[in-house]
């Protein structure tokens, strides 16, 4: 029986890692309060750990994790293009 070995690069690990709310807020350069608003408003995908599995079981708010890949997608999806970029995308009929 042969077992398939999967090689994962450090870059892939970095992109697939899960961040705490504090780490994700720092990554997005927003306050934790703003990040919680995104979480509660379901504007960002997140993982909710059972309270027993969170690092500090007594802290209810330490149970959320966010993927770096999801944060990068959130940044791209909420990017506003400049006027110059917008003009390049417009195809004139003449």
pLDDT per residue rounded down to tens, the chain (94 residues)? 455 555 656 665 566 788 888 889 999 999 999 999 999 999 999 998 876 555 555 555 578 999 999 999 999 999 888 877 766 766 666 6
Q: Is 38 exposed, middle or buried (0-12, 13-18, 19+ CB in 10 A)?
A: middle
Q: Where are the domains of the chain?
A: 10-89
What is the value of pTM for the model shown? 0.66
Task: Tell me how far CA of residue 66 lies from CA of 14, 18, 69, in angstroms.
Answer: 12, 5, 9
- Residue 1, pLDDT score: 47
């Amino acid at each position: 029986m042969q077992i398939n070995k999967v090689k994962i690069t450090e870059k892939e690990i970095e992109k697939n890692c899960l961040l705490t709310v504090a780490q994700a807020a720092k990554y997005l350069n927003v306050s934790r309060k703003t990040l919680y608003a995104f979480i509660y408003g379901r504007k960002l995908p997140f993982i909710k750990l059972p309270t027993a599995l969170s690092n500090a079981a007594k802290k209810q708010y330490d149970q959320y994790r966010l993927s770096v890949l999801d944060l990068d997608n959130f940044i791209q999806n909420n990017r506003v293009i400049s006027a110059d970029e917008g003009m390049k995308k417009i195809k004139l009929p003449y």
